[in-house]
Amino acid sequence: MRKIWDIPGGIHPPENKHQSLTDGIGTIAMPERLILPLNQHAGAPAKPLVKPGDRVLKGQMIAEPVGFISAALHAPTSGTIDGIADQPVPHPSGMSARCIELVPDGRDEWCDHQGVGDYRAQPPTALLELIRNAGITGLGGAGFPSSVKLGPRQPIDTLVINGTECEPYITADDSLMQARAPEIIEGVNILRHILGNPETVLIGIEDNKPRAFEQLTEAAEGTGIEVVEFPTKYPSGGEKQLIQILTGKEVPSGKLPAELGIVCQNVGTTFAVYNAICRGEPLISRITTVTGQACGRNGNYEVLLGTPISHLLAHNDFDAKACTRLVMGGPMMGFTLLDPAVPVVKTTNCILAGSKAEFPPAPPAQACIRCGLCAEACPASLLPQQLYWYAQSQNHERLEAHNLFDCIECGACAYVCPSRIPLVQYYRAAKGEIRRHDAEQLKADHARQRFEFHKARLEKAEAEKAAKREARRLAAEAAQRKTATSEAPSSGPGSADDLIQAAKARAAAKKASPDEQKAKLERSVEANRNRLKIARDKLAEGRDQGLDSDAMAKLEVKVNEAALKLKTAEEKLASFDDTSPGKGDSTVADDAASRVMDRVTASRREQLETTVASLKKRIASAEQAIGAETADATIAALQSGLEKQRQKLAEAETALAGLGPDGDQKVTDPTTVDAASAAIARAQAKAAARASMTPEQKAREDLHALDQRIAKARDKAQAARAEDSEHAATLESALEKLEEKRRGLIEALGAEPEETVPERPVAESVPAPSAVEPHPVPNDDPAAAAIARAQAKAREMAAMTPEQKRRVELASLDERIAKARSKLDSALAEGSEHVEALQGALEKLENKRRSLAQQDSDGVNPEGGA
């Protein structure tokens, strides 16, 4: 005889097992419809493999496990999938969950299946895989996937088979042990093999099941399996309690029995394992006890999973009026079902339809007198009365200190409570509350982090903005001082110094930026590299998991995208590296300073000319940018920037024109001088940092940049075409534009000065260039030509009265509006995505025109000129 240990506490409720033990295991007629919840186990819900309308065969997998702790689901009979929808499931909440509905065709046609001939020849991992694919979970209570439990990391020296079934009323395991003892023993042998032949194999049975004990003892003869009988006491069937009874060891709090080298399996699960390995049959049915006084007949049945409980009850002459509580599981730990339409699931060991005599309505709970009966009954040696006290006051700290989470919710305390306090409900609620609180705390911490990051980001942005503002302010101050001094006949050294200071400040402000830019670029390269790696990993993972082709294609596209992004980022970094080393920080500053010096010493005319030229260059580059850009938002932004630059150009030109033929002299008209000098100051400030190149060089530079961009755009377009992306068309049109521009530039470089930038509206508004050509500018210098044109135009404008000026402007605006309209029309016709941007631009133009027209009619001169 093996030594038996006792557990603390425990109770002896009336057993009520004989009612359902009269006959053997019965069968139930096929129901009209089977409802198969996707989550009948602990862990993640299974993923359906079938669609409504599919025909499935008996034993066919209809949902596969997702992740490690999950279980498969199989069709319990052949038939048609009717739908996958939310249905009420067996759960204390009475809520719904996703279920597969199967309409049986009555043929009960098996899919191909066969058992493993000799399981001893198979490696344990292969058998575990079979068990996983058979959807076997613990059939005793919690429904933990068996393949997980049978594959522990620790070496196992004891296998415990739980045939205790300590709850009153339930006899499912008892009847199974009586009827199928040899199969159970064979199942135990399989488990032994999987677990690496543990030294001790025990089957624990309470002494109220003498026939089952006899049967198993007989079947186990000569196998080395010990069948152990021990005194009946509730809750000795709990896994932890059974381990204590049979081995005297306690499973450490929060740990698994495997830590002690013990694995515990229910007899029903063992039988299911036998079925899966030796017969190749997945878990599609189980033994369920139907009992209670509200049922005319009591008994055990082999029930297909998914059978509605109402069907089961109808088969047993259920009297709904006599039933006060419908319980799934036993009277101690089972939960009430609100709706009998819910299906039998893998963990349904008993349906208990209790009459009023069995389950009288609970009297109102009285006050706890701390009598301590609960503490005496507790098998975990807790203090239920204290837990109740602290659960009521929601004192989570004390609840934890009183080991609330070691409560197995066996209900022994509430059973003995003379005040009829629903103690278990308090513990469940308190546990739920603590879990929720912990989750919320985690979430709050997460939110705090995010908030702090958010704050830091805003502060950084604010600081950057402030720095920029400061730099601008300094520059503006310097410019103002310059203006003030330039009114004096000779510009003193002070003003020059100021300008130099301002330029230096700006150069210093810029100085930081290349490094920052570089760092940023490097970061982006790094991030893109990571992204590419992740995408590739995912792809590999997907391949391993055998994802369907759609998903794989998507993943591949993602990888390609990531690769493309990385390439662009790397190119950017490379080009940055190429350009930046030439311009050392100090040289930039010095350059700027020397340019400013040049400016200060140069004559006004020269200054203005340079300004105009540089502005023109910027306008040209802005236009190119617009042409190359495909995103609407960016185009809009660039256009507005362009608009501003054009205004500035106009101002500068006016100023230049105002200088008159003898530009080196001081101009007589004070207002013009003011406006001009302000414009000069602004332009100078802007221009100070710009590189001074010969016009031809500039054009070549432009051409070079354009070439690069064309190459890139071609790459992009090709990639887009390859991917069949929707952006392909846009990219191609952008490419075309770039090429057109390039042609224009080449032509300009060649000879045609007026064609420098074909689309430039300003150029269009310039009258015939040859008429007023004061400078002997060589034809092959387009920038100079442009300056000349601008100068001419400026002179013209200067010669005009304000009204005339407005007229000219109005005319040019009209032209642009007309052009924009036609563009918009064509965009609309094409259904292009630029429509919105174009509309915005058109609106702006129209607004401008309106205001101009207004001025015209009012006769107000905003410039305050003559």
Partner 1 sequence: MIEIITQEPLLAALVAMVGLAVAFGAVLGFAAVKFKVEGDPIVDQIDHILPQTQCGQCGYPGCRPYAEAIANGDEINKCPPGGQATVNALADLLDVPAPELDAEDGDQSDVKKVAYIREAECIGCTKCIQACPVDAILGAAKQMHTVIASECTGCDLCVEPCPVDCIEMRPVPQTISDWQWTIPAPLGERLQGLRSADIIATDRDTGTRAA
Partner 2 sequence: MVFARASSPHEHSALSTRQVMQYVLLATLPGLVALTWNFGWGTVINILLASTVAVGTEAAIVALRKRPVLFYLQDCSALVTAVLLGLALPPLAPWWLTVIGTLFAIGIAKHLYGGLGFNPFNPAMVGYVVLLISFPVPMTTWITPRDLLPAGVHLPDLWQSLQIVFPILGAPGQAVDAITGATPLDAFKHHTGLLVEQIYAAEPLFSRAEIVSYGWEWVNLGFLAGGVWLIYKKVFTWHAPVAMLLGLTLMAALFYDGGSSTSGGSPIMHLLSGATMLGAFFIVTDPVTSATSARGRLVYGASIGILVYIIRVWGNYPDAVAFAVLLMNFAAPLIDNYTLPRTYGHSKARKATEKKP
- Asked if 521 interacts with partner 2 (CB under 8 A), we say no
Scan residues 344-403 and list those touching partner 1 (CB under 8 A).
Answer: 361-367, 391-392, 394
Q: How far is the CB of 237 from partner 1 (least distance, A)?
A: 23
Give pairs for 672-675: CB < 8 Å, separation 24+.
672/798, 672/865, 673/487, 675/651, 675/863, 675/865
Closer residue to partner 1, CB minimum distance, 440 or 577: 440
* Contact pattern for partner 2 over residues 118 through 157, marking x by CB under 8 A: ----------------------------------------
Q: What is the rounded distance in angstroms from the CA atom of residue 718 to the CA atom of residue 732?
A: 9
**DSSP letters along 717-740, please?**
HHHHHHHT-TTHHHHHHHHHHHHH
Q: What is the rounded distance in angstroms from the CA atom of residue 609 to the CA atom of residue 760?
A: 19
Please tell me the count of residues contacting partner 1 according to CB under 8 A: 46
Report what 751 binds from partner 2, partner 1, none; CB cut-off 5-8 Å by kind. Answer: none
* Contact pattern for partner 2 over residues 335 through 364, marking x by CB under 8 A: xxxxxx-----------x-x---xx--x-x
- Asked if 496 interacts with partner 1 (CB under 8 A), we say no
Which residues, 6+ apart, have CB-to-CB distance to 754 below 8 Å? 763, 769, 785, 789
- Of 92-100, 156-164, 307-315, 496-504, which segment contacts partner 1 by CB under 8 A? 92-100
- Asked if 632 interacts with partner 1 (CB under 8 A), we say yes
Q: How far is the CB of 89 from partner 2 (least distance, A)?
A: 15
Report what 68 binds from partner 2, partner 1, none; CB cut-off 5-8 Å by kind. Answer: none
Report what 380 binds from partner 1, partner 2, none; CB cut-off 5-8 Å by kind. Answer: partner 2
Closer residue to partner 1, CB minimum distance, 638 or 757: 638
Q: What is the rounded distance in angstroms from the CA atom of residue 325 to the CA atom of residue 813?
A: 85
Give residue 409's region: left, alpha or beta (phi > 0; psi -120 to 50): left
DSSP for residue 29 = P
E strands, 506-610, are: none
Scan residues 52-91 and list those touching partner 1 (CB under 8 A).
Answer: 89, 91
Closer residue to partner 1, CB minimum distance, 249 or 531: 531
Q: What is the rounded distance in angstroms from the CA atom of residue 121 to the CA atom of residue 430?
A: 50
- Asked if 439 interacts with partner 2 (CB under 8 A), we say no
Closer residue to partner 1, CB minimum distance, 10 or 141: 141
Closer residue to partner 2, CB minimum distance, 48 or 292: 292
Scan residues 290-329 and list those touching partner 2 (CB under 8 A).
Answer: 310, 320, 323-327, 329
Q: How far is the CB of 226 from partner 1 (least distance, A)?
A: 40
- Asked if 305 interacts with partner 1 (CB under 8 A), we say no
* Contact pattern for partner 2 over residues 399 through 428, marking x by CB under 8 A: -xxxx--x--x-xx-xxxxxxx-x-xx--x
Q: What angle do CA 523, 528, 532 make, to 5 degrees?
A: 150
Selection from 135, 153, 157, 155 nearest residue 144 by Cα: 135
End-to-end CA distance of the chain: 122
Q: Residue 540 in contact with residue 556, Cβ under 8 Å? A: no
* Contact pattern for partner 2 over residues 167 through 196, marking x by CB under 8 A: -x----------------------------
Q: What is the rounded distance in angstroms from the CA atom of residue 607 to the CA atom of residue 776?
A: 19
Q: How far is the CB of 412 from partner 1 (least distance, A)?
A: 18
Closer residue to partner 1, CB minimum distance, 63 or 243: 63
Q: How far is the CB of 408 from partner 2 (least distance, A)?
A: 9
Q: Distance from CA of residue 454 to its chain's centroid?
A: 19
Report what 256 binds from partner 2, partner 1, none; CB cut-off 5-8 Å by kind. Answer: none
Q: How far is the CB of 765 from partner 1 (least distance, A)?
A: 32
- The one among 371, 439, 527, 574 contacting partner 2 by CB under 8 A: 371
* Contact pattern for partner 2 over residues 230 through 259, marking x by CB under 8 A: ----------x---x-----xxxxxx----
Q: How far is the CB of 64 from partner 1 (least distance, A)?
A: 20
Which residues, 6+ apart, have CB-to-CB distance to 763 below 8 Å? 754, 756, 757, 786, 789
Q: Residue 216 in contact with residue 163, Cβ under 8 Å? A: yes
Q: Residue 198 in contact with residue 225, Cβ under 8 Å? A: no
- Asked if 20 interacts with partner 2 (CB under 8 A), we say no
Selection from 769, 761, 776, 772 nearest residue 795 by Cα: 772
Q: Residue 426 in contact with residue 387, Cβ under 8 Å? A: yes
Q: How far is the CB of 356 from partner 1 (least distance, A)?
A: 12
| Number of continuous H segments (helices) and E segments (strands) in the chain | 25, 17
Q: How far is the CB of 574 from partner 2 (least distance, A)?
A: 54
Q: What is the rounded distance in angstroms from the CA atom of residue 293 to the CA atom of residue 352?
A: 9
Q: How far is the CB of 389 from partner 2 (least distance, A)?
A: 9
Closer residue to partner 2, CB minimum distance, 406 or 863: 406
Q: How far is the CB of 350 from partner 2 (least distance, A)?
A: 12
Q: Residue 137 in contact with residue 346, Cβ under 8 Å? A: yes
Scan residues 374-403 and list those touching partner 2 (CB under 8 A).
Answer: 375-376, 379-383, 385-386, 397-398, 400-403
Report what 632 binds from partner 1, partner 2, none; CB cut-off 5-8 Å by kind. Answer: partner 1
Report what 97 binds from partner 1, partner 2, none; CB cut-off 5-8 Å by kind. Answer: partner 1
Please tell me the count of residues contacting partner 2 according to CB under 8 A: 77
Closer residue to partner 1, CB minimum distance, 419 or 611: 419
**DSSP letters along 606-643, please?**
HHHHHHHHHHHHHHHHHHHHHHH---HHHHHHHHHHHH
Closer residue to partner 1, CB minimum distance, 303 or 391: 391
Dihedral, CA of residue 752, residue 756, residue 759 and residue 760, to nearest 10: -120
Report what 168 binds from partner 1, partner 2, none; CB cut-off 5-8 Å by kind. Answer: partner 2
| Token pair 């599919």: residue | 54
3-state helix, strand, coil in the chain (%, to 5): 55, 10, 35
For the record, the structure tokens of 343 come out as: 């299906």
DSSP for residue 353 = E
- Asked if 451 interacts with partner 1 (CB under 8 A), we say yes
- The one among 5, 13, 476, 637 contacting partner 2 by CB under 8 A: 13
- The one among 6, 125, 453, 743 contacting partner 1 by CB under 8 A: 453
- Asked if 642 interacts with partner 1 (CB under 8 A), we say no
Q: What is the rounded distance in angstroms from the CA atom of residue 772 to the CA atom of residue 761?
A: 19
- Of 9-17, 29-37, 585-593, 661-669, which segment contacts partner 2 by CB under 8 A? 9-17
- Asked if 460 interacts with partner 1 (CB under 8 A), we say no
- Asked if 327 interacts with partner 1 (CB under 8 A), we say no
For the record, the structure tokens of 771 come out as: 């008429």
DSSP for residue 229 = E
Q: How far is the CB of 379 from partner 2 (least distance, A)?
A: 7
Residue 81, H or E segment: strand 79-88
* Contact pattern for partner 2 over residues 94 through 113, marking x by CB under 8 A: x-------------------
Alpha helices in 688-781 (DSSP H): 695-723, 728-750, 761-765
Q: What is the rounded distance in angstroms from the CA atom of residue 627 to the CA atom of residue 629?
A: 6
| Token pair 């010990």: residue | 226
Closer residue to partner 2, CB minimum distance, 223 or 366: 366
Residues engaged in binding partner 1 (CB under 8 A): 89, 91-97, 336, 361-367, 391-392, 394, 422, 425-426, 428-430, 432-433, 435-436, 440-441, 443-448, 450-455, 632-633, 836
